[in-house]
Amino acid sequence: MIDCVVWWARPVADPGEYLALLTPVERERYEAYRQDADRRRFLTGRTLARTVAAERLGVDPGDVEFDATCTDCDKQHGPPRIPGVDLALSISHAGERVGVALTAGAPVGLDVEAASRRADDGLLRYALNDTELAALDRLSAPERTDGFFRYWTRKEAVMKATGRGLRIPLQSITLSPPGEPARLIASDHPELTPEGTRMADLDPGAGYRAAVAVLTMEEIEVTERWWGPMPDSHGQ
């Protein structure tokens, strides 16, 4: 059994006390964001990731060093890793949600999305293959939007777990339809197989959808926790 812990947080309101945790490269990325909301989400993601990793490793958060080297260009904007440590993590954020998924080394991917976004035909056909579109067509109009975000977050989580992101076409994998437990049914890529992929839908609060994927042959046990105050009943 693989344990996967997902931590949720709202973006920090006051960045001041957390900025010291950023490395010079991360501080440059933080400063490069034009919108304050984007800065706070980035800062919260790195702070939360360092905090939960430090707790697992028994060190101070300031002692956790990430390697975010992009496999395409060698710049520090890829998924963060902790060199020399058997620990894997994935960061995702949207709106008022920031999440970090953590496993003891099994590749993991996390995705959260605000479900208020409009899913037009172009986006549907970009993300879903014919089998999945047919499953979506069988739903009512209100169910269709929710169903799309179930598909979208599941697919994004799988792609993040591979470390290749959207370099693997979204239409190349087929997932279980909304309303069924999340699972990979078929894949055109040998590194992604149904027997080697475990998934789960998550509960980040009202107005959001999320999923996690772990590349493992074992079953997974997913635990969700909150860092800081939980949102109210309206999801804020």
Q: Is the pLDDT reported for residue 12 higher than 60?
A: yes
Closest CA relative to residue 175, chosen from 216, 213, 121: 213
Q: What percent of the chain has pLDDT over 70?
A: 95
232: confidence class by pLDDT, cuts 50, 70, 90 = low
At 101-153, the pLDDT tens digits run 999 989 999 999 998 777 777 888 999 999 999 999 999 888 888 999 999 99
Closest CA relative to residue 12, chosen from 77, 93, 67, 117: 93
> Average model confidence (pLDDT) for the chain?
91
The SS3 of residue 220 is strand
**pTM (predicted TM-score):** 0.93
At 91-101, the pLDDT tens digits run 999 999 999 99
Contact of 178 with 195, CB cutoff 8 Å = no
Q: Tell me what pLDDT residue 234 has.
A: 46
Q: Is the pLDDT reported for residue 32 higher than 90?
A: yes
Q: Is the pLDDT reported for residue 22 higher than 90?
A: yes
Contact of 199 with 4, CB cutoff 8 Å = no
At 158-215, the pLDDT tens digits run 999 998 776 788 999 999 999 999 999 999 988 899 999 999 999 999 999 999 999 9
Q: Tell me what pLDDT residue 236 has.
A: 60
Could you give the domains of the chain? 2-226 (3.90.470.20)
Q: Tell me what pLDDT residue 70 has.
A: 72
Q: What percent of the chain has pLDDT over 90?
A: 73
At 50-99, the pLDDT tens digits run 999 999 999 999 999 998 877 767 777 778 889 889 999 999 999 999 99
